[in-house]
C-alpha cells in the first residue's frame, strides 16, 4: 500500500488526476471504475479541468460505477447515475453508451448484478478504480461483515450509512434501504485502486483500514491484500495514522515522474 498524505483534498485530487492522465495517455481505451459521494468531487472537478484545459481525451474510455440505490430511477436527483452525469459525464467527452451504473430499477436484481459482472469481464476488467471510504469501513456499499470475496449483489444499507447519506435527501426516510454494489472481490480484481478519504470524520476508520487487522467488520481493510493500491488522504484524515511520518518520508523521496503515477508501486 502506498499512503499519500497531502494538505488538502484538492492536492489529493491533483495527484489522482495525474494518475488518470498517465493511464489514459498510455491506454486510450482504459476502463475506469468510479465512485460517488462527496469524496470524489474534487477529483472529478480536476478531470473536468484537465479535459477543458489540457485536452485530456476520454473518448475511448469505458466507466463502471461502484453502486446505485435500489428504487431510484437514473434521472432522480439523488440517484448515482444522476450524480455522475452532473459531476463528470456531462463535462467530458466520454461516450454515454460506455458509462455504466447499476440499474436501480431492475426487476430481476440478481440478473442485473450478474450482467454487471459480465460487462466488466467483457471489457477486460477495470484498470483503475476510484474509491471513497464509509465511516463504518465500507468500500462501495460493502457494509461491515460483507464477505471479502463478494461479487456485485444487493446489500442492505446500515443505519449509519443511511444517516450519513441523508444530507443528499429531503429526509432520512427518503434514503433507500437497499442498493446494488460491486463486491469486495470485484474491487480486488481491479488492476489499480485509488482510495480517497478526507476530513477528521474519516481519521479513525482510515487508520483501522490501513494499519488494523484485515477483517470483515472493516471491509476496506481487505485492500491490504491488493498489490497496487494508493491511499490519498488529507492531513485531517491522516491524523490517526501511527506511521504517518514514515508515509510522508516515502512519498517525499520519490522522483517526480513516479509521483505522477507513471510507475507501479
Binders of ligand F6R in range 231-260 (CB under 6 A): none
Question: Segment near ligand F6R (CB under 6 A), from 37-45, 112-120, 233-241, 254-262?
Answer: 37-45
- Contact between 81 and ligand F6R by CB under 6 A: the answer reads no
- Contact between 16 and ligand F6R by CB under 6 A: the answer reads no
Among 37, 60, 74, 125, binds ligand F6R (CB under 6 A): 37
- Contact between 220 and ligand F6R by CB under 6 A: the answer reads no
Binding mask 112-151 for ligand F6R (x = CB under 6 A): --------------------xxx---xxxx----------
Is the Cβ of residue 66 or residue 206 nearer to ligand F6R in the bound state? Answer: 66
Catalytic residue list contains 170: no
Catalytic residue list contains 67: yes
Which of these is catalytic: 46, 68, 127, 143? 143
Residues binding ligand F6R: what is the number (CB under 6 A)?
14
Which of these is catalytic: 21, 68, 138, 234? 138
- Contact between 35 and ligand F6R by CB under 6 A: the answer reads yes
Q: Reduce the secondary structure of the chain to three states and give it as a string.
A: CEEEEECCHHHHHHHHHHHHHHHHHHCCCCEEEECCCCCCHHHHHHHHHHHHHHCCCCCCCEEEECEEECCCCCCCCCCHHHHHHHHCHHHCCCCHHHEECCCCCCCCHHHHHHHHHHHHHHCCCCCEEEECCCCCCCECCECCCCCCCCCCEEEECCHHHHHHHHHHCCCHHHCCCEEEECCHHHHHCCCEEEEEECCHHHHHHHHHHHHCCCECCEHHHHHHHCCCEEEEEEHHHHCCCCCHHHHHHHHHCCCHHHHCCCCCC
Locate cell 461516450: which residue? 95
- Contact between 66 and ligand F6R by CB under 6 A: the answer reads yes
Catalytic residue list contains 173: no
Is the Cβ of residue 37 or residue 125 nearer to ligand F6R in the bound state? Answer: 37
- Contact between 1 and ligand F6R by CB under 6 A: the answer reads no
Residues pairing with 231 in the sheet? 3, 195
Is the Cβ of residue 50 or residue 206 nearer to ligand F6R in the bound state? Answer: 206
Catalytic residue list contains 143: yes
Residues within the interface to ligand F6R (CB under 6 A): 35-39, 66-67, 132-134, 138-141
Q: Which residues are known to be catalytic?
A: 67, 136, 138, 143
Amino acid at each position: 500500500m502506498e499512503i499519500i498524505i497531502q494538505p488538502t483534498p484538492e492536492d489529493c485530487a491533483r495527484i489522482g488526476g495525474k494518475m488518470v492522465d498517465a493511464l489514459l495517455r498510455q491506454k486510450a481505451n482504459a476502463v475506469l471504475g468510479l465512485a460517488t459521494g462527496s469524496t470524489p468531487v474534487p477529483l472529478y472537478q480536476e478531470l473536468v479541468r484537465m479535459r477543458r484545459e489540457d485536452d485530456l481525451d476520454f473518448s475511448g474510455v469505458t466507466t463502471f460505477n461502484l453502486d446505485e440505490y435500489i428504487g431510484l430511477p437514473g434521472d432522480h436527483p439523488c440517484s448515482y447515475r444522476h450524480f455522475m452525469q452532473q459531476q463528470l459525464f456531462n463535462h467530458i467527452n466520454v461516450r454515454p453508451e460506455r458509462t455504466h451504473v447499476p440499474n436501480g430499477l431492475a426487476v430481476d436484481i440478481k440478473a442485473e448484478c450478474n450482467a454487471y459482472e459480465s460487462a466488466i469481464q467483457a471489457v477486460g476488467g477495470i484498470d483503475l478504480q476510484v474509491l471513497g471510504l464509509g465511516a463504518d469501513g465500507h468500500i462501495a456499499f460493502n457494509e461491515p461483515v460483507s464477505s471479502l470475496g463478494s461479487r456485485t449483489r444487493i446489500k442492505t444499507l446500515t443505519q449509519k450509512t443511511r444517516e450519513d447519506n441523508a444530507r443528499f435527501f429531503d429526509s432520512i426516510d427518503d434514503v433507500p434501504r437497499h442498493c446494488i454494489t460491486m463486491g469486495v472481490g470485484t474491487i480486488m480484481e481491479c488492476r489499480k485502486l485509488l482510495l480517497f478519504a478526507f476530513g477528521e470524520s474519516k481519521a479513525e476508520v482510515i487508520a483501522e483500514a490501513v494499519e488494523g487487522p484485515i477483517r470483515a467488520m472493516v471491509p476496506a481493510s481487505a485492500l491490504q491484500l491488493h498489490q497496487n493500491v494508493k491511499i490519498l488522504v488529507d492531513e485531517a484524515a491522516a491524523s490517526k495514522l501511527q506511521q504517518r511520518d514514515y508515509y510522508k518520508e516515502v512519498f517525499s523521496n520519490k522522483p517526480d515522474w513516479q509521483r505522477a503515477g507513471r510507475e507501479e508501486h
